Structure 1
Amino acid sequence: MKKTRILIIDPITFRGGSKVATESIVNLLDPKKYEIIVVSSDSHSWKEDSFKKFSLLELQYLKNKEQGIYYFLKHIFIAINIVFARLRVGKIDIAIGASGPGVDLSIYLLKRALRYKLVQFIHGPVAKSKTIGKCLYRADEIFHLETAINSIKDALSTQPCQTKDLYEKPRFNILHNGLSKSKWPSQCQQAKPRVFWASSTLKWKGLDILLDALKSLEECSKPDTHICYITPKDTPLATSDTNIAITNVQWHNEPKNLDTLRAESNIFVSTSTQEPFGLSILEAMAAGHCIIIPSDGAYWDKKLVNGVNCLKYQPGDALDLAKTISLAVSQTEIRQSTGRLAKKISEGYQAEALYLPVILAFEIDSAQPSQCPNEDY
């Protein structure tokens, strides 16, 4: 039986939450029916051995261009990589944009020529631009986080086709992230308090806030801490310094034993503000951690209750974070009870159930979008 061939375009140079979520989704597909091809700037960040992986070749000068003619030239060059992949593997049936239309523009440039179905995942807010609006209009299926709805509608408002609401089902659907049973996090130990932080070193992820909080504590009160980090390559965005000497802090650069390190800990600290979802938070919940998050109105701030199934601190306030960490470390009952209740909530985030609508979207005969009078970019 001929397999359905799916191509994933990935210009992101590190393994972030969007990449993990995409990999979890396609891993649920029947390998007897589907063949997965990944064209990636960091093919090593895709862990599944069954995927066919091609390195994405980019011009260094164009890598960080995000507007103007050079932005379009960058994506034209990425599109050339897709053409070469097409020549090597054969017809592409489905193309997946794994990040957002502004990052995945290349698959839109080739949609008409290569005649594939285009499925777009959106893991955060999108910019309001005519180009992104046109991409959203031309995609066959779009799955996005709930927190991205307003920005998506803003982008669609740039389009001339205003005779009806462009944000409509069945093309637009909420993406509910989950964890697969086969990769469910190991349960954490409860014998000794230990802090765990895991994210990229991008400034907005807030590593500096955690470090300032730990530095503010007395030497004898600094908790054992695992800091697991990914440093993005070739990014114009500011990043935090790492491997700073702080008592009882251990640094781990892209550790292969992340699950083990998480299981050795039991207090998870999130320091990013307005996190669109927070897959690492969900993973820590599933492991039974006491969850510490900022009270910032983001997804998990709305889902979790301070003092019941998590502990909260004022966003960006290192001293308040230090107090909250000290509370989790010193109060065993609070640490363990919030962890138990957070774990119970995580059990409702089963990937096999939550990603089912996405899996069904890979059926080739799904509905196609209506035609917009102007499809030029």
Structure 2
Amino acid sequence: MFKFITTRIKSVFKPKSLATIWVYDPITFNGGSKLATQNVLDLVATTSCHIKVLTRSPADWQTWATRINHHCINQNSDCNQAATSTVSIHTLYELGYIAKFEQGIGYFIRHGLLATQLILRRLFTHKAEIILATSGPGVDLAAYMLDAFNRIIEPSSSATSGVFQLVQGPVATSKTIAKCLTRAQALCYLPSCLSSIEQNIEKSANPVVQTQFAQMKQQGKLFELNNGINQHNWPSPTQNHCQSKGKGHASKPIRIFWAASLLKWKGLDTLLTALNLFTDNERPQASICFIRPKQCELAVTQAPQPINQVTWFEQPKNLDSIRSQHQIFVSTSQNEPFGLAILEALAAGLTVVIPADGAYWDQQLTHGENCFKYKANDAFDLKVKLEALVNNPLIVDEIGKAGQKLAAKYHGEATYQPVSQIIVQQIKGNQPHANADQQTKTDNVNGNLPTSLKQTQLSK
């Protein structure tokens, strides 16, 4: 054991051959934010680096890591876009009862134990050029604890590395979170999350934090994270688009599709209530694909439930194939920060039915043109809208095609490019053995930003 430890410690002092990104993922179930992170890393993987994923749920990363390690970004184009990076996956552990703490001293103990695992790994390996925190500062607190540790043991290099924070959901009001936001080397946020970030800073009532956040804006460390779908993940088009045999009749029945986690705020109860308002003879066929949250204290919907004409799938591997057999997608999420599942349905040519709740897609889509809208949380109104669509297949077909046309603007290779570019710039700026001229020419977040990033950073 002593020999093993000695060997590992010596390896830390050997020259590092490849830049490293640590991806911190403490979420225990697979969702849209994890897919968005993988989409960003797809673009980063064309640059030589090692991506070390530290996660509570290794299975969520296995398929992606295998693809990158086989040096292929685009599975559907004979690997024309090659990856030059490598990926390793490392499991993080939590005790069941500690994982439930979301506030108070238990919250800090929980994240302190996660940080301890990160720090122990750091003691036996080289420092990462980037710590990519993938959800939000409240969830990713351990990443900031690791960064603080790095600054203590290597203060001279702290200015050129640190936490790159992705904010993929509203930020809770917290003094701890406010401090984390100002510690980030770069803050990449969904546009719908900016207001909660600014409110958090304002309500912190901490002049130092507020000044630091203002400086981050001036230094160009805030960036919009605009979601999209990478080419290899582009959904298969819906099959059997409704073709009319005559007025009001379709060649095949219109089917309804729903996909999300069972968390209550995802609103599955609204759809189930709407479907139960139909008689058994009139109820349209529906498929519900769900993710069951693990080690989560938040309220969830019971599933599956015995409802005639409704088929249930728990985290199916053939989600794309299932979706392609439907013509209508229903979103019931409450104030969804983005809604990647909605974009996927649009791209597949399904008619999307969304709540009129002021969220992102409610602002982007027009009722009757490229979507159908219903009153938020109103099961009866949802039932009325579904009934109207099921009885009018030509409208379903037209709206689906219009939505598909709009989705073409959301190719991930373009939407994620600004964020991936700033990560790549940081990697190149800290490449091992780079000579002085190369480092001088390389831009990073502490210096001049590339033109494309200047256009997307916050202008305030």
Shorter-chain-normalised TM-score: which range? over 0.9
> Which residue in 1 is equivalent to 2:236?
186
How do 1:309-348 and structure 2 match up within 5 A? 309-348=370-409
| 2:207 alignment partner, one of 140, 160, 164 | 160
| 1:197 alignment partner, one of 255, 258, 268 | 258
Residues in 1 aligned to 2:121 and 2:287: alpha-carbon distance in whole angstroms: 40
| 3-state DSSP of counterpart to 1:79 | helix
For each residue in 1:34-67, what CA deviation from the matched residue of structure 2 results, as whole angstroms up to 9, or x when unmatched? 2111111111112312331111111223212122
> Which residue in 2 is equivalent to 1:29?
44
| 1:173 alignment partner, one of 223, 246, 257 | 223
| 3-state DSSP of counterpart to 2:397 | helix
What TM-score results when the alignment is normalised by the length of structure 1?
0.94
Residues in 1 aligned to 2:255 and 2:421: alpha-carbon distance in whole angstroms: 41
8 Å CA contact 1:137, 1:166 repeated in 2? no
> Which residue in 2 is equivalent to 1:248?
309
CA shift for structure 1 position 163: 4.7
How do 1:1-377 and structure 2 match up within 5 A? 2-31=17-46, 33-46=48-61, 47-48=63-64, 49=66, 50=69, 51-87=87-123, 90-114=126-150, 115=158, 116-157=161-202, 158=204, 159-161=206-208, 162-163=210-211, 165=214, 168=217, 170-189=220-239, 190-191=241-242, 192=252, 193-362=254-423, 363-364=425-426, 365=429, 366-368=444-446
- Tell which deviates more after alignment, 284-293 or 144-153: 144-153
Q: Say what the alpha-carbon RMSD is for the aligned residues.
A: 1.7
Q: What amino acid maps onto 1:325 in structure 2?
A: L
CA shift for structure 1 position 234: 0.7
Residues in 1 aligned to 2:92 and 2:329: alpha-carbon distance in whole angstroms: 34
8 Å CA contact 1:156, 1:167 repeated in 2? no
Q: What amino acid maps onto 1:156 in structure 2?
A: I
CA shift for structure 1 position 111: 0.9
Residues in 1 aligned to 2:299 and 2:277: alpha-carbon distance in whole angstroms: 24
Unaligned 5+ residue runs, structure 1? Answer: 370-377
- Say how many residue pairs are matched: 369
CA shift for structure 1 position 160: 2.2
Considering only CA atoms, is the larger Rg found in Structure 1 or Structure 2? 2
CA shift for structure 1 position 72: 1.1
Q: What amino acid maps onto 1:160 in structure 2?
A: P
CA shift for structure 1 position 88: 5.5
8 Å CA contact 1:177, 1:351 repeated in 2? yes
8 Å CA contact 1:153, 1:167 repeated in 2? no
Q: What amino acid maps onto 1:41 in structure 2?
A: R
| 3-state DSSP of counterpart to 1:142 | strand
In proportion to residue count, which structure has more helix?
2
What TM-score results when the alignment is normalised by the length of structure 2?
0.77
| 3-state DSSP of counterpart to 1:28 | helix
